[in-house]
Amino acid sequence: MSELLLDAQNLVKRYGSVEALRGASFQARAGEVTALIGDNGAGKSTLVKCLSGAEQPTSGSILLDGSEVVLDSPTTARRMGIETVYQDLAVAPELDPAANLFLGREIHRKGILGKLGMLDKKEMKRQAVEEFQRLGVTLQSTDVPIGSLSGGQRQSVAVARSVVWASKVVFMDEPTAALGVVQRERVLDVIKKVRDKGIAVVLISHNMPEVLSVADRIEVLRLGKRVARFTGADTKLEDLVAAMTGALVQEEAA
């Protein structure tokens, strides 16, 4: 069994009188794709926000590499090796792919020019091209604004940016939403390459056939609580639907 990297235990999240998470648990392992699924309102977004530092749970514990951690901000989560690819990509459309890859982590030139704030764009581009090649990300050009690239290419750059900086866990929120068939397959190939690096990939998706095609493990949320866990290779679509709708509840998943 792969190494357990992320272990969330009995998370509760309240917004006033609304309880978005009701003792939710979740696990992600190194070198595996774990899909997090559930119907609208199941608590997926809230859980991911708690595990990526965007929100803090009301109660419960989060363990990373076996040690309890407090993820009080996305910056803290990133410092601990946790990155997130949001559904809206959060890219800067007017910047080129290399600049997006190093957004917030720019390389400055050496000497006095660097102290004056001048960036080493040549070195950033060299490293970016190297990382894109390593991940199998094919771009029509690395010199144009990312906003002029196709949806699949923009998504691939967003995934690559998180992968380059993540050392433990990458959350991917609907990474293939609104993409065509060819673009979707390209992004799924990148996800598999990320997994093969030994990083724990958490895939949040409503596309059940896609989940079954790429996930090693599947965890199902319903009404703010984990209700089922599956192994990807041994699971059928009807099993997932039954768990999401409440027709199937695995007691041990709670």
pLDDT tens figures, 81-138: 998 887 665 778 899 999 988 988 899 999 988 888 889 999 999 999 988 888 778 8
Contact by Cβ (8 Å): 23, 50: no
The CATH architecture assigned to 4-253 reads: 3-Layer(aba) Sandwich (3.40)
Percent of the chain topping pLDDT 70: 96
Q: Residue 162 has which token pair?
A: 């998180």
At 215, give phi and psi (nearest 5°): -85, 135
Q: Residue 173 has which token pair?
A: 């929120």
β-strand pairing of 217-222 with 33-37: parallel
Contacts of 19 (CB under 8 A, 6+ apart): 12, 13, 224
Domains of the chain, by residue range, sit at 4-253
Angle between helices 121-135 and 181-196 (to 10 degrees): 100
Res. 147: pLDDT tops 80: yes
Residue 186 pLDDT: 78
Residue 183 pLDDT: 74
CB atoms within 10 A of CB 171: 26
Residue 61 pLDDT: 97
Tokens 């041990």 belong to which residue?
252
pTM here is: 0.83
DSSP letters, 125-174, are: HHHHHHHHHHHT---S-SSS-GGGS-HHHHHHHHHHHHHHH-SSEEEEES
- The number of angstroms, rounded, from the C-alpha of 222 to the middle of its chain's C-alpha atoms is 20
When pLDDT is cut at 50, 70 and 90, the band that residue 251 belongs to is low
Res. 252: pLDDT tops 60: no
Residue with the larger pLDDT of the pair 228 and 152: 228
